């Protein structure tokens, strides 16, 4: 797999996909009154305007992807992206679990 600044291309884009899934699942859960947004900043943005919420949830990862194109590859950057991807994967799993329970 091709290595670039910030780790493999696959991990970087997987992180973005997980962030988008988090935004969509969180929005659905809030609308269905199954969950509440735990992040106070995201909660305030959601309550102000849903577009602000989606912008926050998607533009920050896009900004990170853009910035990583200009950062020299270092092990700490690769590990940071790997950790962030693992954390978002755990959040995605949490969303899948509550969605499955809500559907049952």
pTM here is: 0.83
d(CA 2, CA 50): 37
Alpha-carbon distances of 28 from 2, 17, 31, 35, 63, rounded to whole Å: 35, 17, 5, 9, 25
Q: What is the band of 77 on the pLDDT scale with cuts at 50, 70, 90?
A: confident
Average pLDDT over all residues of the chain: 88
Q: Where exactly are the structural domains of the chain?
A: 3-103
Alpha-carbon distances of 11 from 30, 45, 62, rounded to whole Å: 28, 27, 13
Whether 6 shows a pLDDT value over 50: the answer reads no
Residues 24-70: pLDDT tens digits? 999 999 999 999 999 999 999 999 999 999 999 999 989 988 888 88
Nearest to 80 by CA among 23, 7, 18, 17: 7
């Amino acid at each position: 797999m091709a290595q670039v600044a910030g780790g493999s291309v696959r991990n970087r884009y997987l992180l973005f996909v997980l962030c988008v899934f988090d935004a969509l699942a969180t929005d659905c859960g809030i609308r269905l009154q199954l969950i509440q947004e735990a992040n106070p900043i995201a909660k305030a943005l959601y309550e102000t305007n849903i577009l602000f919420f989606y912008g926050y949830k998607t533009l920050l990862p896009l900004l990170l992807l853009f910035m990583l194109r200009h950062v020299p590859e270092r092990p700490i950057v690769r590990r940071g992206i790997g950790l962030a991807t693992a954390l978002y994967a755990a959040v995605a799993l949490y969303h899948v679990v509550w969605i499955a329970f809500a559907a049952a």
